[in-house]
Amino acid sequence: MKKLLVLILIAAAAVSCGNKTFSVKGSVSPTDDLKDAMALMQNIFTGKVDTAMLVNGKFAFTGDIDTTAIEMVALNLPGRGRVLFIPECKNITVDLDSVDVKAGPLTERINAFFDAMREAQDEESYIAAVDEAINANKANAIGLLALQQILPALETEEELAKYLDGAADFIVNDERVQKAREALAAVAETAAGKPFKEINGEDAAGNPAALGDFAGKGKYTLIDFWASWCGPCRREIPYLVAIDKDYAKKNVQVLGINVWDEKEKGLKAMEDLGIKYPVIFVGDKSATDAYGVQGIPQIILIGPDGNILERNLRGEGIAAALDKYIE
């Protein structure tokens, strides 16, 4: 009898999670503010969106079962609840009032992952939660989502390779993962001891300008990737302005590399922040791609011979780095 019950439960699981398509039955209280509202179902990886009308607070979606996808269901109104699920089973229910979804064990697992990230008390516990999620889900969407959380923090190709070892093709070939791989390769090519890579753009007056006009000419060249809208960038600039003044007679050239920005806004920021040192304005992503820069500011010290000495400089550490090399 016990064996028969187990077989019945297995058969039920096959019926609910073994079909090729899924259906979502959703509900939300039909309040007055929902008169013209619609329900949305969006794949968070591809951005594909389906819409459904609300009828007496009810809505429905259908789609293909796919454990490599994560779908978000919400209303097209700000401030309302939303749910995420992995489409692994035939029948999925969504309650947007209680922000609850019943969609199978992978959805329960992804919600547990979100809980672990929210409960992380520090960087170490956060990374531990992400590590666990990646390593336990290398064949489903949770693994990709978790990996995407940590991509910007990876510093070497070897770190990424560790996470990709044994991962499914859809994770390995994901566009964001591939871009991170390319960026980390560029970081390795512009690490300490490597020669600088050329950067081309224009100066404040609109004339052609290049990093090679400054670097490798016998001076220490301190380059700062920045943008006018970037708060952390603006906080670093007073240190660079001070370096430009205090180290002017110590064979040091400060050089701004304005990226991901509008030139007019960059020029205004130069005036507001008192930037007197030269700035190269780069209108595309060529400069950041060449150096594997995924976040700004990025401050790099290049030696008089054109070889890179240090990356990732910040604050008072900029002057400290210079003092190590300047006699």
Query: Where residue 214 sits, what CATH number does that domain have?
Result: 3.40.30.10
Distance of CA 282 to the CA centre of its chain: 22
Classify residue 220: in a domain, yes or no.
yes
Classify residue 258: in a domain, yes or no.
yes
Classify residue 43: in a domain, yes or no.
yes
State which of 137, 164, 189 marks the end of a domain.
189
213/320 same-domain check: yes
- pLDDT at residue 17, as a whole number: 56
293/206 same-domain check: yes
Residue 73: give its domain's CATH number. Answer: 2.60.40
CA–CA separation, 42 and 72 (whole Å): 5
- Phi and psi based region of residue 77 (left: phi greater than 0; alpha: psi -120 to 50; beta: remaining): beta
State which of 42, 75, 103 marks the end of a domain.
103
73/138 same-domain check: no
Classify residue 6: in a domain, yes or no.
no
Structurally, the chain folds into a number of domains equal to 3
State which of 103, 134, 161 marks the end of a domain.
103
Pairing mode, if any, of strands 82-85 and 49-53? unpaired
Q: Do 82 and 95 form a contact (C-beta atoms < 8 A)?
A: no
165/239 same-domain check: no
CA–CA separation, 245 and 93 (whole Å): 64
Classify residue 321: in a domain, yes or no.
yes
User: Model confidence over 27-81: pLDDT tens digits?
Assistant: 999 888 888 899 999 999 999 999 999 999 999 999 999 999 999 999 998 888 8
98/144 same-domain check: no
90/168 same-domain check: no
204/314 same-domain check: yes
- pLDDT at residue 7, as a whole number: 36
207/317 same-domain check: yes
3-state secondary structure of 205: coil
269/320 same-domain check: yes
- pLDDT at residue 293, as a whole number: 94
Classify residue 195: in a domain, yes or no.
no
- pLDDT at residue 310, as a whole number: 97
154/204 same-domain check: no
- One digit per residue, the tens of pLDDT, for the chain of length 327 reads 444 333 333 334 433 455 699 999 999 998 888 888 999 999 999 999 999 999 999 999 999 999 999 999 999 988 888 999 999 999 999 999 999 999 999 999 999 999 999 998 898 999 999 999 999 999 999 999 999 999 988 889 999 999 999 999 999 999 999 999 999 999 999 999 999 999 999 999 999 999 999 999 999 999 999 999 999 999 999 999 999 999 989 999 999 999 999 999 999 999 999 999 999 999 999 999 999 998 999 999 999 999 999 999 999 999 999 999 997
320/204 same-domain check: yes
Classify residue 75: in a domain, yes or no.
yes
- Phi and psi based region of residue 122 (left: phi greater than 0; alpha: psi -120 to 50; beta: remaining): beta
Enclosing domain of residue 221: 200-325
Spell out the alpha helix ranges (H) of the chain: 2-17, 105-119, 123-136, 141-150, 157-164, 169-172, 175-189, 231-246, 263-273, 286-291, 316-325
Strand partners, 92: 24
217/319 same-domain check: yes
Classify residue 150: in a domain, yes or no.
yes
